Chains A and B, each alone.
Chain A
Amino acid sequence: MNAPDRYERFVVPEGTKKVSYERDTKIVNAASLTVEREDHTIGNILRMQLHRDPNVLFAGYKLPHPLQYKIIVRIHTTSQSSPTQAYTQVVDDLDKELLHLKKAFEDEKNRLEGKPFY
């Protein structure tokens, strides 16, 4: 009865930014990024990839409430890099990894084209 519409899970309403950023006033090189209308699918991957960056000291994500469709990603870095820099670098790396994965899958698929299986 009070449930929001299902399209709210992925349609960003007018006027809201997809990604917004808040610096932490008490800790240097720390920030919280709020990504609207996303869920664990992208949150867990961002967290995993952030952990692999040697400049990142802390990385985590949470969904504040299952009926509010946004994630908050918290990043602390060393002084050699900044949270926004780490985040942009990480998403770029993910893009390249996915391109490579897609190419590997297509190559394997083409290698087996025409060969009967099973």
Chain B
Amino acid sequence: MPKVSALDMPDVPMGQLPEHLQLQRTRVVCKADAPIHTEAIQYSGAYASMGVDNSLQLESFCNNFKIEVIRLTEDEIEFDMIGIDASLANAFRRILIAEVPTMAIEKVLMVNNTSVIADEVLAHRLGLIPLNADPSLFEYLSENDSPNERNTIVYKLDVSCKKGGPRMTVKSDQLKWLPSGSELEMTPPNQSAKPKSYTSFSCSQDSMPEFSKKPLGVKHEDIIIAKLGPGQAIELEAHAVKGIGKVHAKWSPVSTAWYRMLPEVVLLKDIKGDDAEKLVKKCPVNVFDIEDLGNGEKKAVVSKPRACTLCRECIRGVNEELVELRRVKDHFIFTIESAGALPPEVLFTEAVKILEDKCDRVISDLS
């Protein structure tokens, strides 16, 4: 027999990966004890000996990338991203949680607090209340700026419980927006000078066109801030500024954002009859279903692989060789739950813009 190189033999496909390597490259296989093939084989020369080019060109990304929105409500969005790498999906998750800016209460000026809640605890609770303000209409407030209508929102809380009356609960709808700025005055250095206010608003905020459509209040009216007994009162002024989640979690715009890889459930052998019934019953989220074949026989099929939560009930015990649980490495199911200031689809667009800005800042200015 003439000598032929192993790579030229007829059953080794040249230019294309054999099936088991394609599985290793694109799927994470979840076995009973641990997942395997989890690393992403990104090195461009990984399959050079097979004649397969593993490097990613920009055009192939643009051709293969897809986004599908599954569910969109006022507070939540669930969408699929197909064709990106895990590091990009993780970067979007990190940016959504920590780097998209929001407005939250930062400074609290206490005038009177005779409630049982300590001043600092009350201030901490006020900071965590989500505000219904669009942060793109505001600027950041730095140390040498003075608070004005472009970078601060001022709220007032003035409640008291009557002596002899029942106990009352202070809810977040009692926080009133002051569009004209702070009403408190700082003590001037010399007696005759005019007292200065804590904020210098040059015009009232509700005269500005952006705010006249939607008054800047709190997102949820029924958040309990404090409880007052008879004779107790709280009087304070709160200033809200723009910030990002990295500095303090109160500025995080999402309640949470997470992603999971698309599950793929494969039956390695045909499962018929009673075994099929048992398999269908085992799965708590009904991934499997029964298909009736013609002559009274029943076969198990995979009907809803997307619902799989990887509880591994179907591979426990005897069934290890019958079912294989896999995850597709470049298909991510993203869910974003917004805390209320911005709608979730706007949040994702902001996150992409922030990542673009990061790339621009990181480009070297040395060459």
Enumerate chain A interface residues (CB-CB to B < 8 A): 6-7, 9-10, 18-21, 33, 35, 38, 40-42, 44-48, 51-54, 56, 84-85, 87-88, 91-102, 104-106, 108-109, 112, 117-118
Size bracket, chain B contacts: 35 or more
Shortest beta-carbon distance, B22 to chain A, in Å?
A: 18
Neighbouring A residues of B247 by C-beta, 8 Å: 6-7
Say yes or no: A109 contacts B69, CB within 8 Å.
yes
Which residues in chain B, 344-367, are within 8 Å of chain A measured between CB atoms?
345, 348-349, 352-353, 355-356, 358-367
Look across to chain A and name the residue whose beta carbon is closest to the beta carbon of B244: A10
Q: 18 extra interchain contacts, Cβ-Cβ under 8 A, other than A21-B366, A46-B362?
A: A7-B247, A19-B364, A41-B91, A41-B99, A44-B87, A51-B43, A52-B44, A53-B44, A54-B55, A84-B367, A88-B363, A96-B58, A100-B62, A101-B81, A101-B352, A102-B353, A104-B67, A109-B345
Say yes or no: B90 contacts A91, CB within 8 Å.
no
Chain A CB within 10 A, most for which of B81, B85, B90: B85
Chain A contact residues: helix, strand, loop or mixed: helix
Neighbouring A residues of B361 by C-beta, 8 Å: 18
Say yes or no: A33 contacts B364, CB within 8 Å.
yes
Say yes or no: A54 contacts B352, CB within 8 Å.
no
Taking a contact as CB atoms closer than 8 A, the residue among A18, A41, A88, A102 that contacts B352 in the complex is A102
Say yes or no: A9 contacts B246, CB within 8 Å.
yes
Neighbouring A residues of B362 by C-beta, 8 Å: 18-19, 35, 38, 42, 46, 91
Shortest beta-carbon distance, A104 to chain B, in Å?
A: 5
Say yes or no: B65 contacts A104, CB within 8 Å.
yes
Look across to chain A and name the residue whose beta carbon is closest to the beta carbon of B246: A9
Chain B CB within 10 A, most for which of A33, A84, A105, A112: A105
B235-253 Cβ-contact flags toward A at 8 Å (1 or 0): 0000000001011100000
Ranked 10 nearest A-B pairs via Cβ: A51-B42, A44-B87, A52-B56, A6-B247, A48-B87, A54-B44, A102-B352, A91-B363, A54-B55, A84-B367
Give CA–CA (A38, B45) in the complex, Å. 29
Neighbouring B residues of A100 by C-beta, 8 Å: 61-62, 65
Shortest beta-carbon distance, B67 to chain A, in Å?
A: 5
Which residues in chain B, 327-357, are within 8 Å of chain A measured between CB atoms?
345, 348-349, 352-353, 355-356
Total contacts A-B at CB 8 Å: 128
Tell me whether B88 is interfacial, beta carbon within 8 Å: yes
Say yes or no: B44 contacts A51, CB within 8 Å.
yes
Look across to chain B and name the residue whose beta carbon is closest to the beta carbon of A115: B72
Give CA–CA (A64, B156) in the complex, Å. 46
Tell me whether B84 is interfacial, beta carbon within 8 Å: yes
Chain A CB within 10 A, most for which of B43, B84, B365: B43
Q: List 20 A-B contacts (CB under 8 A).
A: A7-B247, A10-B246, A18-B361, A41-B95, A42-B355, A42-B362, A45-B355, A46-B362, A48-B85, A54-B55, A84-B364, A84-B367, A93-B58, A94-B359, A95-B360, A96-B58, A100-B65, A101-B67, A101-B352, A102-B356
Say yes or no: A118 contacts B73, CB within 8 Å.
yes
Shortest beta-carbon distance, B220 to chain A, in Å?
A: 21
Give CA–CA (A53, B56) in the complex, Å. 7
Neighbouring A residues of B81 by C-beta, 8 Å: 101
Neighbouring B residues of A117 by C-beta, 8 Å: 71-73
Shortest beta-carbon distance, B359 to chain A, in Å?
A: 5
Say yes or no: B356 contacts A95, CB within 8 Å.
yes
Shortest beta-carbon distance, A37 to chain B, in Å?
A: 9
Shortest beta-carbon distance, B288 to chain A, in Å?
A: 25
Tell me whether B40 is interfacial, beta carbon within 8 Å: yes
